[in-house]
Amino acid sequence: MSDNVFCFGVLTAALLSPMTVWFAPPKDLPLVPDPSLPTREFVTSVNSNKSIVFRLFAPTAKSVSVVTGATEDSYVVNPMTRNEIGVWSYHTLPQAPNLYEYFFNVDGYRSSDPGTAFPKPQRQVNTSLILVPGGVPDVRPVPHGQVLSLTYHSNVLNAERQMYVWTPPGYSAESKPLPVLYFYHGFGDTSGSALLQMRVPQVMDNLLAEKKIEPMVVVMPDTETDIANAIPEDFPRKMRRKVFYPRNADAADRELMQDIIPYISQTFTVRQDADGRALAGLSQGGYQALVTGMTHLDQFGWLATFSGVSTATVPNEHVAEVLNQPERINKQLKLLSVVVGERDIVTGKDVEGLKTILDQKGIKYAYQMYPGLGHEMDVWRPAYITFVEKLFKE
């Protein structure tokens, strides 16, 4: 069993206070915790030994469980127990340092944790995150880069858009031109996912301090364009790959090439050559990287798809045309990285289909399969680290 999979022990003793009274709010409002008790007795927390106590104040609930894991292929359901003050809790064994996903099942209703300031960045928030310190995504006492939240006008989309940009410590307009990595998040998330869950700023700060990567700029756009005919919420799951993905990918491709890259080139001191430009993404973002990277092959020197949807299920004529030019790809790309989790039921077939095409065409690529893992951040963060450690090195 992987050391980043939850291994749960028995429930600890009931919380210290024996009080059974809480104050009733006005009619038609929910009950609130006893204000004479400290908030820590009602909220989720990490202990000094790295065990986690999940807590939820739900005095009238009949059944509550905490569900850990990233997707259906990795969910673990853990029943919780209610104490005298209406708090449901579950205590884990000490956990490996990591950033974990979880949510509550309250009488059949999926809920994020209202007792934490760390929701998963999603278009519809229904999952929370909890950090067990000591791992790669920690904030460490090293020189820190800057994270900028930029609002720009997209001429392609005729909309005001936002993206995040990380610049390395010491960057200034007078710095020598730096290479750029453009990184796309996955379906259902927001551009904040790369920032808050992938932990790009912390990862880049730490790797740069360890001299494992070259200084670079990382641009984190929104994968979703929200054009009128490609709004994710308008499509049932079975229609996403047939209709939504192609439409959104085309719009995102044009936005990157016509709006985002020119904006970054005008706003920051960055390299303009293909060898100084990389493109990567995970899941839906992996498809976006594949589409744009192949369609505009001469504009990129480095390309990665992490558990990405591929043309095996979402055909693209531009990608198909370029994949029939293996010599051109092999000459242009310094690295083509393809990554997947062994148990990925979401895009496993996509990645296998892409691998088959690459092998048949004689296209060079680096492949990494993560044993025992599915469609999850425990695949994508280490894959991202491996990728950036290879970028822009002569």
H/E stretch holding 366: strand 366-370
* pLDDT value of position 175: 87
* pLDDT value of position 240: 92
* pLDDT value of position 2: 44
- Between CA 150 and CA 341 the distance in angstroms is 33
Nearest alpha-carbon partner for 145 in 117, 190, 175, 184: 175
| Same domain assignment for residues 240 and 213 | yes
Distance from chain centroid for Cα 334: 25
* pLDDT value of position 15: 40
- Between CA 289 and CA 252 the distance in angstroms is 10
| Same domain assignment for residues 204 and 330 | yes
Tokens coding 49: 């030994």
* pLDDT value of position 70: 84
Is the pLDDT higher at 27 or at 204? 204
- Between CA 114 and CA 92 the distance in angstroms is 19
* CATH number of the domain within which 181 lies: 3.40.50.1820
| Same domain assignment for residues 129 and 229 | no
19 has pLDDT over 60: no
121 has pLDDT over 80: yes
- In this prediction, what percent of the chain has a pLDDT beyond 70? 93
* CATH number of the domain within which 84 lies: 2.60.40.10
| Same domain assignment for residues 261 and 169 | yes
| Same domain assignment for residues 83 and 110 | yes
184 has pLDDT over 50: yes
Average pLDDT over residues 14-39: 69
| Same domain assignment for residues 273 and 349 | yes
Phi/psi of residue 358, nearest 5 degrees = -60, -40
Burial label for 25, CB within 10 Å (0-12, 13-18, 19+), is exposed
- Between CA 71 and CA 77 the distance in angstroms is 12
Query: Average pLDDT of the chain?
Result: 92
Domain boundary among 109, 135, 161: 135
In a domain, 278, yes or no: yes
In a domain, 121, yes or no: yes
* pLDDT value of position 18: 44
- Residue 187, strand partner residues: none
CA angle 45, 99, 371 (to 5 degrees): 135
* pLDDT value of position 11: 38
| Same domain assignment for residues 109 and 224 | no
233 has pLDDT over 80: yes
- Residue 46, strand partner residues: 52
pLDDT tens-digit series, residues 310-363: 999 999 999 999 999 999 999 999 999 999 999 999 999 999 999 999 999 999
pLDDT tens-digit series, residues 261-308: 999 999 999 999 999 999 999 999 999 999 999 999 999 999 999 999
In a domain, 141, yes or no: no
Domain boundary among 111, 135, 159: 135
Nearest alpha-carbon partner for 337 in 380, 376, 275, 295: 380
In a domain, 140, yes or no: no
* pLDDT value of position 26: 67
| Same domain assignment for residues 130 and 152 | no
Give one DSSP letter per residue of 296-345, joined into a string: TGGG-SEEEEES---TTTS--HHHHHHHT-HHHHHHH-SEEEEEEETT-S
* pLDDT value of position 4: 45
pLDDT tens-digit series, residues 64-82: 999 998 888 789 999 999 9
pLDDT tens-digit series, residues 91-100: 999 999 999 9
Domain count, the chain: 2
- Residue 45, strand partner residues: 53
| Same domain assignment for residues 85 and 217 | no
* pLDDT value of position 17: 44
- Between CA 253 and CA 296 the distance in angstroms is 9
* pLDDT value of position 24: 61
| Same domain assignment for residues 115 and 196 | no
In the structure, what pLDDT confidence band is assigned to residue 136 with cuts at 50, 70 and 90? confident
In a domain, 322, yes or no: yes
Burial label for 67, CB within 10 Å (0-12, 13-18, 19+), is middle
* pLDDT value of position 13: 37
Q: Which of 22-36, 155-169, 243-257 has the lowest mean pLDDT?
A: 22-36
- Domain extent at residue 150: 146-390
Which DSSP category does 307 fall into? Answer: S
| Same domain assignment for residues 174 and 123 | no
Domain boundary among 135, 164, 183: 135
Burial label for 235, CB within 10 Å (0-12, 13-18, 19+), is middle
* pLDDT value of position 22: 53
* pLDDT value of position 341: 96
The residue count for the chain: 394
- Between CA 95 and CA 101 the distance in angstroms is 13
| Same domain assignment for residues 254 and 278 | yes
* pLDDT value of position 209: 96
In a domain, 336, yes or no: yes
